[in-house]
Amino acid sequence: MGLSKLAAQCQACPFVDTCDHKRMEALGYLPSPDLAKVDVKIDTAAISEDLLDRISRVSQIPVSILRGDSR
């Protein structure tokens, strides 16, 4: 969301209420709080068993944990 205000020259103009050519001045930018959230979801159902085995061997993490199986 951007922050802006009416330009100083437009504020002083006698036609400010009826003019269609208003100018704005940028004051800053506020990032959305939703952009700060990072959700990482991996659909392990789409990953083949062979790939899971390879990842398990390289990372030394059991396949059951990679699949998300509960113990």
Domain assignments of the chain as residue spans, ordered by start: 1-34, 40-71
Taking the alpha carbons at both ends of the chain, their separation in whole angstroms is 45
Alpha carbon separation from 58 to 11, 54, 62 (Å, rounded): 65, 6, 10
Alpha-carbon gap, residue 42 to 29, rounded angstroms: 32
pLDDT in tens, 11-51: 899 998 888 888 888 877 766 666 667 677 777 667 678 88
* Structure-model confidence comparison of residues 71 and 19, the more confident one: 19
Instruction: Say what the pTM is.
Output: 0.36
Which residues, 6 or more positions from 22, have their beta carbon under 8 angstroms from its beta carbon? 6, 7, 10, 16
Query: Could you tell me which of 8, 5, 2 has the C-alpha nearest to residue 31?
Result: 2
